[in-house]
Structure 1
Amino acid sequence: MTGPARRPRRRRGEEGETLVEVLVAVVLMGVAFVAVLGGMGTAIISSVTQQEVTGADSVIRSAAEKVVSAPYVSCARTYATPTPPAGYEVTVTVAHWDGVGAFDGSCPTADTGVQKVTLTVRSTGPRPVRDATLEVVKREAMLS
């Protein structure tokens, strides 16, 4: 009769990991992966938003240059702007100086030669950012 089978003794330092140790390591790696992935997602969203803000700024400055270079039109309701790129729309409103101390949307009986042109650019993309607004004051050229 033989005795119970003996397992060979392991030498010191050759013990394997337990299931709990492996599970803890996998959970820690998963948490680190989720943190890195979340940071990358935030960076991508921030980049797209910044691109839209920069694009809107470029569109509004281009429109303002066209309005400034256009000749003064007495009692104008709007001024022409360049066609914006896809994903943006530009609106132009003109207010006229009433000669007393305020800008009004209607043209005064006697044009004072001063207009406040408000340009607004709206992003119509999948993630619209806030509107960009720029005001330009136009004066009628006085010849002396």
Structure 2
Amino acid sequence: MTGPTPRPRRHRGEEGETLIEVLVAVVLIGVAFVTILGGIGTAIVSSVTQQKVTTADSVVRSAAEKVVGDPYVSCARGYETPPPPAGYTVTVEVEYWDGVGAFGRPCPTADTGVQKVTLTVRSTGPRPVRDVTLEVVKRESMPS
């Protein structure tokens, strides 16, 4: 019965790791570093995107509150909205009830007193996000 073959003894000054072991360690550390750095980059981009969407949502809701609070304007081409923060634009589109069953343009000859106002907020800049849209129906107040 023979046992395992003994390893040759190292001579003085030959202790330590081999070049292969050092290279494997460096590659593993590099892979871990790149993975962590990629995760941090993704988290930053997601955070900025979510912040822009949240701001756009806040801007469109503010604009809708202003439109709802303003008096009804017959055959209005648009309504005033609060100025958006830098990097955002607000567009206002007005459609008119035709009295039969649909909203459309242009304003009918006899305004039916119902309008659909579509507010759209768009972020501008190097990384724009999706548009945020909100529709508001305005009615002419009936006399008491």
Q: TM-score, normalised by structure 1?
A: 0.89
| Unpaired stretches in structure 2, ≥5 consecutive residues | 1-10
- What is the match of residue 129 of structure 1? 129
CA RMSD, 1 decimal: 1.4
The change in CA–CA distance for 1:27 and 1:111 in structure 2 (over 3 A counts) is same
- What is the match of residue 140 of structure 1? 140
Quick one: distance in 1 between partners of 2:97 and 2:13?
98
Amino acid of the structure 2 residue aligned with 1:86: A
- What is the match of residue 25 of structure 2? 25
Secondary structure of 1:65 counterpart:
helix
101-110 vs 32-41, greater mean Cα deviation: 101-110
Quick one: distance in 1 between partners of 2:40 and 2:60?
30
Quick one: distance in 2 between partners of 1:36 and 1:96?
54
Quick one: distance in 1 between partners of 2:18 and 2:86?
59
What are the superposed Cα offsets for residues 54-107 of structure 1, whole Å, 9 maximum, x if unpaired? 110011011001000000001111000011110000000100000011111211
List structure 1 segments (4+ residues) > 3 angstroms apart after TM superposition: 7-10
The change in CA–CA distance for 1:23 and 1:132 in structure 2 (over 3 A counts) is same
Quick one: distance in 1 between partners of 2:137 and 2:12?
93
Quick one: distance in 1 between partners of 2:119 and 2:62?
11
Amino acid of the structure 2 residue aligned with 1:59: V
The change in CA–CA distance for 1:9 and 1:115 in structure 2 (over 3 A counts) is closer
Amino acid of the structure 1 residue aligned with 2:40: M
